[in-house]
Amino acid sequence: MVALWGGIHDINLVKNSDVPVFLAHGDSDYVMPYKVGHAIEDAEKMVRDAVPAKYSAFASLFKFDVQTPTIYGSAAIDSALTARGVAHEFYNPVGYGLKHEFYNSTRTADDGSEIVFADSVQNKAFAFLYKLATGTYGKTEPVFAMAKAVAPSNTSDFEVSKPAAPVFANVTKIAMGDKNLSFTVVEGENLAYALFDLKGKKVMAGRASRGETVSLEAIAGGNYFLRVQGEAARRITVKH
């Protein structure tokens, strides 16, 4: 299940379920509570935010008395799923003032880059579902790091490097080419791959093994989702 900025009336529905869930919710949502509360808790604020600024004075004249039942939001659902040990992911970009349905919201990251939350939600949801479908959810591969050789103070010889404790990380099976016009398989044999446009239409598919390069030259420039067997789906931009 993919639950975008939603909630449920009875938290016991989650406590008795084993269905994997992807959750996305902003912590400034006043349409559906982020934790536990009531839907549309501030209807007057919703109206003020929805109308153009020149009509704000007129909108402030409206008063609403909206009464809704208690709703458990994504933060409460996340806690219940965690306690039960159900496979799930919770995307909650807190501190950005994100409200309900933050499809078109953008913010500036610490490094100056633009954060497009619609892309983040879609990418993360697709990646979660892909990992479930391929049986790779929760799995990582060990990457062994070598300790740096150190020169003892009483000799010019270097000590033999010793393996450090394993560091667990996801291993990338492909390497993207220049302008994303191709990708090369660097790990794995006979891997299935598929390319989808943003509407979910499959535009290309096939299989490739280690060392093979798949050309995307024939694909029109634009944004796509590339899914490779054993990897999380990734969003790419093809540039000609």
CA of residue 104 relative to chain centroid, distance: 16
Report the candidate in 204, 218, 138, 21 with the shortest Cα–Cα distance to residue 228: 204
Cα–chain-centroid distance for residue 127? Answer: 7
**For position 44, what pLDDT does the model report?**
66
pTM of this prediction exceeds 0.75: no
Statement: 141-238 belongs to CATH 1.10.260.40: no
Both tokens assigned to 119: 């892309």
* 10-residue stretch averages of pLDDT, the chain, 240 residues long: 93 87 91 86 68 73 75 93 92 87 84 84 90 79 45 41 41 84 91 89 92 93 90 87
User: What's the rounded Cα separation, in Å, for the pair 62 and 55?
Assistant: 12
* pLDDT for the residue numbered 39: 80
Q: Where are the domains of the chain?
A: 2-134, 141-238
Residue among 27, 141, 14 at smallest CA distance from 75: 27
Q: Are 145 and 167 in contact (CB under 8 A)?
A: yes
End-to-end, the C-alpha distance of the chain in Å comes to 36
**Residue the block writes with tokens 């989650």:** 14
